[in-house]
Amino acid sequence: MRSSQNLESQDRESDKLLRLSIEKLVYGGYGLARHRSKTFLVRYAAPRELVDAEVIHTKRDYAEALVKSVVLSSNVRREAPCPYYGVCGGCQLQHIEYTAQLESKEEILRETLSRIGKITDPNLMDGIPSGQEFGYRIRVQFKVRNGRVGFFRWNEREVVDVDHCPVAHPRINDLIKPLKECARHIRELQEVHVIYSPYEDKFLLKFVTPTEIDRGLLVSLKEDYLPEDVVGIGDYSRLRTILNRRYWIGKEYLFFKVGPWTYRVSADSFFQVNHTLWERFVEAVASDVSYRKALELYCGVGFFTIPLSERGNFIEGSDSSGSAIDDADYNAKINGRDNVVFVKADAYRHLKSRGGEVLDLVVLDPPRSGLEGKEIDLLVKNKPERIVYVSCNPSTLARDLKVLIKNGYLLEGIRLIDMFPQTYHIESVSYLRVQE
Ligand SMILES: C[S@@+](CC[C@H](N)C(=O)[O-])C[C@H]1O[C@@H](n2cnc3c(N)ncnc32)[C@H](O)[C@@H]1O
């Protein structure tokens, strides 16, 4: 990507290029531009700048383009700190100052609530920025192909080999070299998932292959190439989005500390990735509530449930993952919480089983797909006084909030949690109360 302040001088190559004026950023990390009544989604653009861009895909109602040179630069554009940026597809916003990334994410959240949820002028409360722009991720999924270890290109299946990833915790970066040694010995290796506990300074690894890795080979690779801090390794297959464990060697879980709370997290349980905002995230969900009886759906290992249990009489958490619920039970014990019960159940079944009960509070943190229609139906039938909705996808959030509002809830406020700096992902917490 080259920079030029000269509007007039366009070289030959630029005959194939389109000069586009970028209005703003949109979801996905693209700059939005319009040209001859067509919409362009432009990779590596910054808000309010003029670029020359190459069109890379054309669809019926929009085209995707790539910035080739910046004609008039945005005042929030910066040199991306990572040498792989622009080739590796893991990050989309490194070329934009961090405060401007936050502003754009808030603008996208506001615009999505309005467009999909028909929610105009929401109360956007103070956001929670990441404690660090870089080095924040404690879970990383490396892709592997023919010995290359790294990440996919933007929207492509080709692996970009990396020696370093600046958004990963520095200790995870220490593992990349040894992982490349392992990749040399396991020809079919497709992915390595790394989980790191800053509290224990220890790692768990999941190796994903189409056919089983010889157990003896994995044991010897662990001894010969991996540091002692790797305390457990599993062999997994992948079926679409589901990982299936074949076997495990060593310790199966790590402990994490968040403020006063301790969590055991097994290799197959979910845990929030950005360690630099864990405490403030918990506070955003659990500090301003009180209840006699509460439910938490999609509770994982009890990340919010355990702190929430201090705020009321009785709370029940549920998750469809058996591994997460085993951890959650254990976490209730080691944190001395006796007013919390965990149930292995999908969200619909759990809500259904509590149909006739009076609930003061329901906390939800669903995956990207948001709530299912039948889950919302049960939720609005039950009418808990308050709902706290944690979301990692503004589109499904806006869709679900629209239904909740239509069924008598007031959106009192919403705040951005910047869990994923340098990327387009938008996490948020919404606070709803039933209207009299
Ligand atoms: C985004 S994570 C949130 C976990 C937890 N709130 C936390 O902060 O660690 C979503 C969780 O939903 C669970 N899950 C996915 N689909 C589910 C479903 N249909 N019913 C219940 N839990 C589900 C996953 O196992 C995962 O633990």
Q: How far is the CA of 422 from the centre of ligand 1 (A)?
A: 24
Q: How confident is the model at residue 401 (pLDDT cuts 50, 70, 90)?
A: very high
CATH match of 103-131+276-434 with 3.40.190.80: no
Instruction: Using the predicted structure, report yes or no on whether residue 124 has a pLDDT greater than 80.
Output: yes
Q: How confident is the model at residue 63 (pLDDT cuts 50, 70, 90)?
A: very high
Give 147 or 280, the one with higher predicted confidence: 280
Instruction: Using the predicted structure, report yes or no on whether residue 200 has a pLDDT greater than 50.
Output: yes
**Does the Cβ of 304 fall within 6 Å of ligand 1?**
yes
DSSP state of 311: G
User: Can you give the residue ranges of every domain in the chain?
Assistant: 2-77, 103-131+276-434, 139-254
Mean per-residue pLDDT, 83-107: 97
Q: Tell me whether the CATH fold assigned to 2-77 matches the one assigned to 103-131+276-434.
A: no
DSSP 134-177: SS-BSEEEEEEETTEEEEEPTTS-PEEE-S--TTB-HHHHTTHH
Instruction: Using the predicted structure, report yes or no on whether residue 387 has a pLDDT greater than 90.
Output: yes
pLDDT at 356: 85
pLDDT at 355: 84
Q: Which atom of ligand 1 is nearest to the CA of 324?
A: 27
**Does the Cβ of 261 fall within 6 Å of ligand 1?**
no
Instruction: Using the predicted structure, report yes or no on whether residue 320 has a pLDDT greater than 50.
Output: yes
**Does the Cβ of 298 fall within 6 Å of ligand 1?**
yes
Instruction: Using the predicted structure, report yes or no on whether residue 5 has a pLDDT greater than 80.
Output: no
pTM of the model: 0.95
From 305, 320, 350, mutation site for ligand 1 pocket: most ligand atoms within 8 A of C-beta: 320
Instruction: Using the predicted structure, report yes or no on whether residue 1 has a pLDDT greater than 60.
Output: no
> How much is the mean pLDDT over the chain?
95
CATH match of 139-254 with 2.60.40.10: no
Instruction: Using the predicted structure, report yes or no on whether residue 11 has a pLDDT greater than 70.
Output: no
The set of catalytic residues is 392
pLDDT at 15: 55
Q: Which CATH superfamily is domain 2-77 in?
A: Nucleic acid-binding proteins (2.40.50.140)
How many Å apart are CA 73 and CA 50, to the nearest integer?
A: 7
Q: Which atom of ligand 1 is nearest to the CA of 305?
A: 6
Cα 304 to the center of its chain, rounded Å: 16
**Does the Cβ of 365 fall within 6 Å of ligand 1?**
yes
pLDDT at 155: 84
Q: How far is the CA of 371 from the centre of ligand 1 (A)?
A: 11
Helix (H) / strand (E) element for 236: namely strand 230-239
% of the chain surpassing 90 pLDDT: 93
